[in-house]
Chains A and B, each alone.
Chain A
Amino acid sequence: MSDRQRGRGIGLVTLAAAVAALVAVAVASAGGSRQAACGDVSLNENSWVGSTANVYVVKNVLEKKLKCKVTVTNITEGQPAFQAMADGKIDVVLEDWDNSLVQSNKKYVTTKSIVPVGNNGIAGIIGWYIPRYLLKQYPQFKTWKGLKGKESVFKTAESSPNAGTFLGGDPSYVQKDRALIKELGLNLKHVVSGAEPAQVARWTTLYKQHKPVIFYWYDPQYLNAIYDLYRVQLPKRFKGCIDDEKAKGNHACEYAGYPTLDKFVSSEFAKSGSPALKVVRKFKWTSADQNFVSNLISGKHMDKDKAAAAWVAKNKAKVNSWLK
């Protein structure tokens, strides 16, 4: 065996030497290639399309107007993203749905590992949605009271005969539907429908078949422009309910609105004085703006950068206001 190895030796040595030489040159040339006027900025894209729209529009502005070198990361929202900011791995989150208020995440704000830089101008709404065509036959479904006794309209193979099925939301999203169903005494079976693409697959199939369906959903969302949905009125929020909710008790009122969706930057980036920071601070648009870009990306399958560029070209005034 050793004979054979020796026999091959020379060839292998040549090969190894060649590779080693290449490696040495690569190491020598690897440094000093990154340089840009405004510096490097990393924006974190989250799993919902709205977030993609935010990120690519800001990316477009930073790259085209300020000549920044922008990288897009895809870190899961909440704790993973915050930890990444604390460690200086990512600079900017452009849309946070109150993850910073979760008990275990508060530390990131109090230690100034992540720095709030205002909101992105969009109001978030969470609630129970039904297709609007259902209201023709069941006008009472406009409020939760109308659902009572009529739950079997929403029955599927999974629910018992006189109960209906409620499609829960993505496990990563804020939700309290199980508690709501119980507190309101509705005969609905809460079914976890999984990650958002899975949930969308479920309710759009039923929508296309013109069948009844009730599900957890939210706005802004580009699909709301394609499918005509109606938000069922849940019991109004009142002080007692909000206090109860804080004490993790009774949940019998509608979801808190999200009048603001927050932007965060890492402490490092906040101190950097980069011109990009100013744009991130000033970045603000509307649900309609975001849905326009989201629809180009997800509905029309346009390239993300091109979709952002299309919006920027149409909204010069708004973009300029971020640059002032």
Chain B
Amino acid sequence: MSTITEARAVTTPVVSHVPWWRGKIVQVAAIVAVMWLAYRGWKTEYPWPNDLVWNGLQARFDSIQTYLIDQRLEGGGGLLFSIFDAFRVFADNLVTWFNDLLTWLTWIGTTVTGTLLAWRFGGLRAGGWALGAFATFAISGLWAESMETLALMLAAVGLSVLIGVPLGIAAGRSRRFDRAITPFLDAAQIVPAFAYLMPVVLFFSIGYAAAVVATMIYAIPPCIRITALGIRRVPVNTVEAAASMGATNRQMLTKVQLPMSRRMLLLGLNQTIMFALSMVVIAGLIGGGGLGAVVNSGLFSNPALAILAGTVIVVMAMAFDRITEAIADRTDPTKRHLDAAAKRRLRIESFVVAVVIAGTIVVAKAIGVSGNFPDSAGIRQRTVTAQEWLLAQIQKVLDYVADPTTWVFQVTEAIGNFILTKLLLPLQAFLVEAPWFTTLGGLVVIAFVVSGLRPAITTFFMLALIGFMGVWALAMDTLSQVLVATLIAVVLGFGLGVWASESRTVSGIMRPISDVLQTLPQLVYIIPFIYLMPVSIVPGIVAAVLYAFPVVVRLVERGLKDVAPETVEAAGAFGATRAQIVRKVKIPLAGDAIMLGVNQGIIMVLAVVVIGGLVGSGGLGYEVAQGLVRGQFGQGVIASIAILALGIALDRVTQGARQARKEDIA
């Protein structure tokens, strides 16, 4: 998920003699000490004053909702609604059409088509992944649901690319346009999807169209970002050479910039698919159907089924990921040189693939293979048996987890209680109960010390906005959780990242784990933790940590691996041990990537705040979740804006810290 940010990380291989953090850590500690004294002195005496709250705000947002519902129900609505309606019909039809197509191809036809296309463009392994994915759909007994999700993904990803690539090209060619859209992209990724479900439902009703729109809002930003990055990465001298030869603007784009950034464009497609797949469950809430709906209903009536469906989503995501990556690698012009014989072979391959696909479908149709997988009684019986067996195995694990007499529970409960009583509750009390002005002032001054004037000003305005909207206490509660989750994610991610950079095995093991953690719907894997740690806030923290730490691992690992080999060799020549090289050379040199890991970790943690609300973390996340389902639009919007404000402040402060660090070094 972090291709965008990895690319942004530019390591500066210079180290200053004075440890950069020494001065700052002392200063921050001093500020915290002052805040703590204020907290001890005036505990709970100065909550955010009522005079500084805009009380009518929620009602105002609510009236917008009422207005929209009225417009929607009483016909009218005018041009705006008719545009939305047109798109709705179009998107509904598109998904239905994809679904009908996949059904019409018959299950054999779909499998053969998918596998052979993946093989033709991505190679043998890619073909294997495709075949494995289709086999999983079949064995899990969720073939029809998988096809519905696949159709939804094809439509959502297709439309995202259609919109995202042109915008990305524009952003890559114009700095000004890039700056103009960046805040919207940030907002689309930080604002919890729950918050925009209600407006989406009002404008696009319930069904495929709404699901497609909600998915697109989340999946377009990475598409734009990576496309822009690909265009910008085309070497300046190539562009200049083309310009000096008199290339027109259009020629420059179609003959130079696009072909040269082809690999990045395909990686953009890869990320768009990954982001879209992470929305499957949320889309299921508003009529996306498919696997998402199975997860949602299963969570309440049959958790084992929800976990099975969640696993199928993961397999689909991994297959898409590996296949698009393989295609990107194979079509990379820098890696591939075809001679006449190879071209000829490829032509024959394409021909054979086309013939086999067409033949399979004709035969399958002729002998009456159905669109849904278990089409004969014998196979159906076996599928049911397979599904029941899988469900029984999952249920066994769940039953074990839900049993408070096992030793596992003794361990996890103790860890949960430790995190709660030693980290969360003290920090939460400190942030929520301290006088508002010392907390506000203290946080702003810390932002100033850590990263400079501009981030400090941003922090001030964001915190003031939160107070002004009347959600100060809730936001401080959420902030305490975000800080604790980020701390754990960074410590864990840093350790594993260093290890992975030194050991191929660990690196190899980490990849599938991080794929699973980032694409498996959080609600699915968090339910077991609720049984294991029966205290309210902690499972939410666990969800956030599990979601965020793989990114930290990846950034740290990459940062350490990118350290110039000459430096490492030089240190080795001076007799440094392996541990010394890691500690004294690699880690300081990779500092920038590590700071980026902290930054990304925080953003990822914020993305899970709402899920935390659903498993008992309270704070802003709960407000958003409740706002949607109980029809309290205003409450949901305000809490979402507050989450966004926290996100912007934390992002700017950590980004600013990277900048400040670079300046210190220079």
Residues of A whose CB lies within 8 Å of any CB of B are 1, 4, 7-8, 10-12, 14-15, 17-18, 21-23, 25-27, 29-30, 45, 47-49, 52, 73-81, 83-84, 86-87, 89-90, 99, 102, 104-105, 107-108, 111, 113, 156-158, 171-172, 191-199, 201-202, 204-206, 208-209, 294, 297-298, 301, 304
Contact with A along B497-529 (1 / 0, CB 8 A): 000000000000000000000000001001100
For the complex, give the distance between the alpha carbons of A201 and B293 in Å.
21
Across the two chains, which residue of chain B brings its CB closest to A13?
B350
Q: How far is the CB of B257 from chain A (nearest CB, A)?
A: 13
Specify which of A105, A107, A193 lies most central, judged by the most chain B CB atoms within 10 Å of its CB.
A193
Q: What separation, in Å, do the CA atoms of A73 and B285 have in the docked complex? A: 10
Interface centre among B120, B287, B303, B630 (most CB of A within 10 A): B630
Q: How far is the CA of A113 from the CA of B70 in the complex (A)?
A: 11
Asked whether A201 lies within 8 Å of B530 as measured between CB atoms, the reply is yes
Q: Is the interface of B mostly helix, strand, loop or mixed?
A: helix
Q: Which residues of B contact A (CB under 8 A)?
A: 62, 65-66, 69-70, 72-74, 97, 100-101, 104-105, 120, 197-198, 201-202, 205-207, 259, 284-287, 289, 293, 296-297, 299-304, 333, 338, 340, 343-344, 346-351, 353-355, 357-358, 361, 391, 395, 402-405, 417, 420-421, 425, 523, 526-527, 530-531, 534-537, 539-540, 613-618, 622, 625-626, 628-631, 633
Are B66 and A47 in touch, CB under 8 angstroms?
no
- Give Cα A209 to B406, complex, Å: 11
Interchain nearest-CB distance for A182 vs B (Å): 16
User: In the complex the two chains form, is A52's CB within 8 Å of B536's CB?
Assistant: no
Known: A45-B297, A198-B615, A301-B395. A171 touches B259 (CB 8 A): no
Tell me the nearest residue of chain A to B418, going by C-beta: A157
Closest 6 CB pairs of A and B: A11-B350, A172-B629, A84-B206, A7-B343, A194-B616, A171-B626
Beta-carbon contact of B615 and A195 below 8 Å? yes
The answer, among A29, A105, A156, A205, for a CB contact under 8 Å with B104, is A29
**Which residues of B sit under 8 angstroms from A29, Cβ to Cβ?**
104
The chain B residue sitting closest to A110, CB to CB, is B73
Give the shortest distance, in Å, between B197 (CB) and chain A (any CB): 8
CA distance A22 to B101 in the complex (A): 9
List residues of chain B with CB within 8 A of the CB of A86.
72-73, 205
Can you report 11 residue pairs joining A to B where beta carbons are below 8 Å apart? Answer: A7-B344, A21-B358, A73-B289, A75-B285, A76-B286, A107-B69, A108-B69, A157-B425, A157-B535, A194-B617, A205-B402
B297 and A74 contacting across the interface, CB-CB below 8 Å: yes
**B616 neighbours in A (Cβ, 8 Å):** 191-194, 198-199, 202
Question: Cβ of A74: which chain B residues have Cβ within 8 Å of it?
Answer: 284-285, 289, 293, 296-297
Give every chain B residue within 8 A of A14 (Cβ-Cβ). 350-351, 354
CA distance A209 to B197 in the complex (A): 39
Determine which of A52, A113, A171, A301 lies in contact with B630 in the assembled complex, contact meaning CB atoms within 8 Å.
A171
CB-defined contacts of B346 to chain A, threshold 8 Å: 7-8, 11
Q: How far is the CB of B344 from chain A (nearest CB, A)?
A: 8
Let me know if B403 and A208 touch, CB within 8 A. Answer: yes
Q: Are A26 and B536 in contact (CB-based, < 8 A)?
A: no
How far is the CB of A198 from the nearest CB of chain B, in Å? 4
B631 pairs with A105, CB closer than 8 A:
yes
Q: Are A11 and B349 in contact (CB under 8 A)?
A: yes
Whether the pair B535, A18 counts as a contact (CB closer than 8 A) is no
Given A49-B301, A75-B206, A205-B531: A22 and B631 interface contact (C-beta under 8 Å): no
Residue from the list A49, A89, A104, A204 in contact with B206, Cβ < 8 A: A89
Chain B residues with CB under 8 A of A26: 100-101, 104-105
Q: Are A8 and B350 in contact (CB under 8 A)?
A: yes
- Beyond A89-B206, A194-B613, 8 additional pairs, beta carbon < 8 A: A15-B353, A45-B297, A74-B293, A74-B297, A78-B629, A158-B425, A202-B616, A297-B302
Q: Smallest CB–CB gap between B371 and chain A, Å?
A: 10
- Which single residue of chain A is at the shortest CB-CB distance from B529? A201
From known contacts A104-B65, A158-B420, infer whether A47 and B201 are also in contact, taking CB-CB under 8 Å. Answer: no
Which residues of A lie under 8 Å from residue B105 when comparing CB positions? 22, 26
B300 with A171: CB separation less than 8 A = no
User: Does B62 lie within 8 Å of A201, measured CB to CB?
Assistant: no
**Which residues of the other chain, A, contact B527 by a CB distance below 8 angstroms?**
197-198, 201
CB pair A205–B207 under 8 Å, yes or no, is no
Which among A52, A76, A102, A194 has the greatest number of chain B C-beta atoms within 10 A? A194
Q: A83 and B297: CB pair below 8 A?
A: no
Q: Are A10 and B357 in contact (CB under 8 A)?
A: no
Decide: A197 and B536 in contact? CB cutoff 8 A: no
In the complex, are the beta carbons of A1 and B259 less than 8 A apart? yes
Which residues of chain A have C-beta atoms less than 8 A from B297's C-beta? 45, 47, 52, 74
